[in-house]
Amino acid sequence: MAYSGGFGAKIANAQDLLTHLKSFSGYAPPSQDLSVAALEDLINETKSHNDITVFAIDEYSETVNEREKLFKKEPTSLLKLVSPIYASATAALGKNSKHVETIKTLTRKIRGKKIKKLGKNPDEAAISESESSYGSLAQSLADLIVILDRHSNTYTPSNQHITISALQELHTKMENGARNVAATLGTQKRCRDLRTKNYEKLNEVTQRVKEAVKGQYTASSVEYKLIKSLTI
């Protein structure tokens, strides 16, 4: 699996250090955690955690994209349906109906809501703003459904995408989408934290390995010069 950002370079450098270490004659680390076997295990563990994190980030991006489709990307998304909803409600209830005026207000509110696009590693403020925006849109749809349902005998549109049952189904998908985004966001954040701790440990251990090599072979040795500039 591909490694993300600077993490990939660190893994590659750690692997190079391990390769050099295996070639050093008589390498005798002062402690077991600096041995070739221990370092190899740590590198493999770090690779595994990195792969899990990359997958979790991808899953989060996918759920964010799926939720966005419900609101604005698809022909049957909420933002594409508000105009036909308003037109059908006006035709059914009459332009001067107070309920139509409320529907008009709600559809304008939906159209006017700006949603900040989340990146792969959003901060808390961006997440909060985005969730608030999506939550507001979903609530506006719920309010529309309540009003339309009160006039279910009159509001009977021929467009099957804006029937009351279709809108209820859309709202349910929005709620499920919100839960999926929250779940995958939590997973990727936990994975990121674990990956960071793994790399911190790898950095600490490899620095000690360098010191062990310098102590055993001296600072001017070929062995130490091979590994001292490897940034991990």
The answer as to whether 220 is a domain residue is no
The answer as to whether 139 is a domain residue is yes
Q: How many CB atoms lie within 10 A of CB 158?
A: 7
Q: What is the pLDDT of residue 59?
A: 95
Stretch among 70-84, 127-141, 212-226 having the lowest mean pLDDT: 127-141
Is the model's pLDDT at 37 over the cut of 80? yes
For residue 21, what pLDDT band results from cuts at 50, 70 and 90?
Answer: very high
The answer as to whether 222 is a domain residue is no
Structural domains of the chain, count? 1
Q: What is the pLDDT of residue 24?
A: 97
- Show the domain range for 147: 27-206
Q: How far apart are the first and last CA of the chain?
A: 19
Helix count and strand count (H, E) for the chain: 7, 0
Angle between helices 98-112 and 78-93 (to 10 degrees): 170
The answer as to whether 228 is a domain residue is no
Is the model's pLDDT at 136 over the cut of 80? yes
The answer as to whether 10 is a domain residue is no
Residue type, 32: Q
Q: What is the pLDDT of residue 4?
A: 46
The answer as to whether 231 is a domain residue is no
The answer as to whether 164 is a domain residue is yes
Mean pLDDT over 15-37 rounds to 97
Is the model's pLDDT at 85 over the cut of 80? yes
119 or 197, which is more confident: 197
The answer as to whether 21 is a domain residue is no
The structure's pTM equals: 0.79
